[in-house]
Amino acid sequence: MTSNGLISLCLATALTLQGVDAVCADTGNGSIDRRAVVSRHDISISSTLPQSPGQVGNGKFAFGLDISGLQSFVPFSTLSDWGWHSFPLPEGVKTEDYRPVYFESYGKNIPYIDFNPETEQASMYLKANPHRVNLGRIGFVFLREDGSEAVEADLKDAHQYTDLWTGEVRSSFSLEGSQVKVTTVCHPEKDQISVRVESGLCREGRLKIAVRFPYADNKSFNKFVGLFGSGDDRHSSRIVSCGGSGASLEHEMDDLKYRLSVRWNTETVLESKGNHVFELVPEDADIWECSFLFSKDSDERPEAFGTTAEKSLIDWERFWLSGAAVDLSESTDPRWKELERRIVLSQYLMRLNESGLFPPQESGLVNNGWYGRFHFEMIWWHAAHYFLWGRNSCCDQMLQIYRQFLPGARERAEMEGRRGARWPKCTADFNREWPCSAHAYLIWQEPHPIYFAELEYRQSPTRETLDKWSDIVLETADYMADYVFWDGKRYVIGPPVTPVSENTDPFNTLNPGFELCYFRYALKTAVEWAGRLGLPAERSADWRRVLRKLASPPVENGYYITEENMTDMWGSHNYEHPAITGMYGWLPGDGVNKKIFRRTFYKVLDDWKMDKIWGWDFPMLAMAAARLGDPEKAIDLLTTTEHKFGFDAHGLADTWPFPYFPANGGLLTAVAMMCEGWDGSSGSAPGFPKDGSWTVKYEGFNRMP
């Protein structure tokens, strides 16, 4: 490894070459010892957590590991942004066979991408394809003295330490008295891990590395992804080349082919063991270094362990020194350390799992949920915190999805007979919707790009920012203005519409309160953008007309309710997302009566079924509490261990589905808001209690609208 002095010099040079923005948006007064804050929450475990891996990764590629430092005992996943697979179509079936489902509303007969029983096979195929795949399992094979294969229970004095500042995972243990030390790192730019092993077991031939390639499974939720251990002839794997200090393997299944290039530092034998398994065995060495590089379309040679470790350190240190930071250690409230742990680990996990080429799935790069696809309505919870923490570069690539998918979004709107761009709900690496009722009628994903554009413009009010987002903002607003229906008195939303809570009949749902507020905010913001762009008033005339006559959020007995046609909300529908609490907190409250909202918020806290909500609901409630001037309640909500808002030793949200990264992203968003405030707030850290129990040192945050 390079000396600390040289590493610091390399870091300074890298930051200088990339410019100030690479360091951070606002470093404040530099009063926070960032390394101390981060390092006091380094992860330490003594055995594998059954479904929670340690991880190394770079945002677009991640490798889950067990207590051994690789995937030796538990088949944790190796996931990427590019690893998508589709099964062959059933005989005689084409994707073009699918037909949308029509629904007539307010005189319009509109096609929706719902499951169509008349084209059942095509509907089912589009549901499950493409899906994200596990690229491969890389694990040690440990042999006991009698030659039998060891299991995790045979390891003694096991310990694994994740150094958050460097992104390095160090594992140590012994097997029948022989010590083993393992260091695992991920390359910051390549889809590559590198591992260094120190043990006499290497020289004795009792320590090997096995590479196993799986075939894709067909499960919508899967904590261990892929089918291992059979001689399945539906896929193939082979050694392409081997010699000197490296080798290249190839794996092919149906429409996906990729390479795994391997590099080692000492004489190593590579053997095919059949059933898509390959073993690497070192010869005559006590220290063994190997690098494994996955690639879809190249045979690039991996970088050595030492180079990878240095680059990992520089990259992670650059991340921690960028953007915002918060130090709660001078607080007297005993919950400060757990809250700070959640904050630090969430930053690490979000950057490691969710700063890649596409919006992430709910479980990041840990395992698969919903076939590994990403949900457009959840992009806000995965990405908004980056803007507020001054780390826009971490989400800039994934938000290019709006530019990439804009042509398809226009086609989708045109298919519905509407203007503008209609964003999908659930998709993969190309713009094709999964036919499903919840997907077809959901609409709260539509305003997101306007919110993101505004967040970026507030930080960088330049022509470049306007040009970057202009088409997306304008066409998104066009769709929203054309989406609402005129009922003779007002503009309304739905039916059919599925609200945030997804617990109503979409064909009888009218005027969901949150969606009305979000439309109002987005259209108002789009009008401001039209002005900034210097467009004539006629360009935003339709938006302004809708704003003047848009229905108000529905009220019943002095409380806001989910949607206008709902009956017995507090007895039969007080579960799932309490989205009405997002109208003033997450959103700035356009069209919201603050007195009614206050009453509604506390009734939600009293009467909602908190065991039947989701991880991001707690930060949403905390943001509402902060805006209402109840920071004590905001802290309660962010430190609760209620079902679906616990954080395990790795910082993963302990819920179903596991893990659930919107909980981590929501936490970071709420904390940013509570530190820097929101439009109209005043004072330092307005979202934290002022009774002396909390001392909040923070820097580098951006204000929330």
Report how many helices (DSSP H) and strands (DSSP E) the chain contains, helices first.
21, 32
Listed in order, strand segments (DSSP E) in 13-59 are 43-45, 54-57
Q: For residues 692 and 694, what is the distance between their CA atoms, to the nearest angstrom?
A: 6
CB-CB contact of 425 with 442 (8 Å) = yes
Give the three-class secondary structure for 429.
coil
Q: Over the stretch 162-188, which tens digit does the pLDDT of each residue have?
A: 999 999 999 999 999 999 999 999 999
Give the model's pLDDT for residue 447: 98
| Mean pLDDT within 154-159 | 98
Give the model's pLDDT for residue 24: 29
Q: For residues 563 and 573, what is the distance between their CA atoms, to the nearest angstrom?
A: 11
Q: Which of 381, 520, 498 is nearest to 447 (CA)?
A: 520
Residue 606 burial (10 A CB sphere; 0-12, 13-18, 19+): exposed
| Mean pLDDT within 19-30 | 36
The 10 Å CB-count burial string (b at 16+, else e) for 348-382 is: bbbbbbbbbbbbbbbbbbbbbbbbbbbbbbbbbbb
Q: Over the stretch 360-370, which tens digit does the pLDDT of each residue have?
A: 999 999 999 99
Q: Name 654's bridge partners.
A: 646
Q: How confident is the model at residue 644 (pLDDT cuts 50, 70, 90)?
A: confident
Residue 446 has pLDDT above 70, yes or no: yes
Orientation angle between helical segments 4-18 and 305-321, nearest 10 degrees:
60
Q: How confident is the model at residue 30 (pLDDT cuts 50, 70, 90)?
A: low
**Residue 273: count of CB within 10 angstroms of its CB:** 12
Q: Over the stretch 537-561, which tens digit does the pLDDT of each residue have?
A: 999 999 999 999 999 999 999 999 9
Give the model's pLDDT for residue 225: 97
Q: Which of 384, 389, 393, 385 is nearest to 315 (CA)?
A: 393
* Dihedral pair phi/psi, residue 80, rounded to 5°: -140, 170
- The DSSP code for 678 is B
CB-CB contact of 467 with 533 (8 Å) = no
- The DSSP code for 433 is P
